[in-house]
Amino acid sequence: MSMHTLRNTLFAAAAAFGFVGLGAAIHAGPSIAHASPMAGIPTDGTIADVAEHTVDSVVNISTMHQGKAQVMFDPFSNDDETVQPRPEMAKGSGVIVTASGRILTNAHVVDNADTIKVTLQDGTELEAKVVGKDVHADLAVLQLKGKFPTLKPITFGDSSAMRLGDIVLAVGDGLGVGKSVSMGIISAKGLTHVGIEDYEDFIQTDAAINPGNSGGALVNLKGELVGINTAIASRSGGSQGIGFAIPSNMAKPIMDELVKNGKVSRGYLGVTIGTVTPGLLKEHKLGAQEGVFVGAIDPRGPAARTGLSEGDVIVALAGKPMKNDSELRSAIAAAKPGTVVELDVVHQDGQHATIKAKLGELPDKSREQEMEEQQQQQQQPSIRRWEWHSP
């Protein structure tokens, strides 16, 4: 089984639904969803207070991208015609994080944007620029331009303190009908094999979120930001009660680094990996029962300059056991470029080895990722981001 096949196998279950990015909407009109009553909800105005308090900290984001002009050949004329493409309009949401005009949103909301406009709660419309963008975690920081009224930045909460069943509110511009608030619970935490981003640690919620909610706020009942709404699993493209948010404890340090450096520097080993499974163990005759399987090595990456080989199983990093590929990927990414890491490896012949590797810097998109994405597009066309195109 090749690593591309392995990657696609991991996506197979997700393809039954289709993971939908929320920075944009479908062409069809919005469908109306009705939430069922939930037992145990406070009735003393707590939820209303939180909703009213939070909505001022969430903004609507509109972007425009002007494609390249195309020259059309006219067989009945000696002159070719230059055709200007129709501008692509997109909408999403964002969260005010500082009184000085910083906005946190998803990277896919502002991808390829030529112009970005932010609408505040009072209707004020302002232009914004990208301060920094991290496509691997799908986060971006914007800065409002010009003069603006007094802003109400949101307070960051501790996403690790959230428990299954905790009530949360999702705030954003769902389906482009305007800012709204929906309510649900924390359905799951620490989801890492969803297949949406390169680095995942998602909070799952059943709060109704739809295309256009991308970059909006997921808040607790204290009105604190515990997540950035990012994607939904849906057969129709609309909310089916399976939404995913980037936890605040992951988003904040990335935001801080984007503000400081304009980008996030991550360690790069240069390997394509997968979690050891019984199928892989049997097919490749691996030397270890669990760990992280090395399926391919970038010939120009750091791993190629070590004793690491295809078919090896990485069982520990710096003495810490690595039970799945997500753990290893996140650990490598968290280390800064230039860091020397120590890998405990089991070769296919069962021999153990300790390998040291000096990490490089993760490129914007590695060649392995490009190949994997091409393969996924060919075999899993239902797994994609949706774009919100104006009619």
Among residues 95, 144, 140, the alpha carbon closest in space to that of 117 is found at 144
For tokens 């390829």, the residue is 112
Separation CA 107–CA 139 (nearest Å): 5
* Position 67, amino acid: G
From the list 57, 180, 214, 326, the catalytic residue is 214
Contact by Cβ (8 Å): 117, 92: no
Residue 214 catalytic?
yes
The DSSP string of 104-124 is EE-HHHHTT-SEEEEE-TTS-
What's the number of CA atoms in the CB half-sphere (13 Å) around residue 306? Answer: 26
Phi and psi angles of residue 76, each rounded to the nearest 5 degrees, phi first: -105, 10
Would you state the structure tokens that stand for residue 112, as one six-digit string? 């390829």
| Secondary structure string (H, E, C) spanning 156-181 | ECCHHHCCCCCEEEEEECHHHCCCEE
Parallel/antiparallel/unpaired status of strands 217-219 and 58-65 = unpaired
Residue 389 catalytic?
no
Residue 27 catalytic?
no
Contact by Cβ (8 Å): 21, 385: yes
For the chain, the helix, strand and coil percentages under 3-state DSSP, each to the nearest 5 = 20, 35, 45
- Expressed in angstroms, the distance from the first to the final Cα of the chain is 44
From the list 4, 62, 93, 138, the catalytic residue is 138
Parallel/antiparallel/unpaired status of strands 155-156 and 224-233 = parallel
If you compute the radius of gyration of the chain from its CA atoms, what whole number of angstroms results?
Answer: 23
From the list 108, 136, 173, 326, the catalytic residue is 108
CA 215 to chain centre: 10
SS3 of residue 262 by DSSP: coil
Contact by Cβ (8 Å): 93, 214: yes
Would you state the structure tokens that stand for residue 222, as one six-digit string? 């204290």
Among residues 156, 152, 179, 142, the alpha carbon closest in space to that of 56 is found at 152
Residues with catalytic function? 108, 138, 214
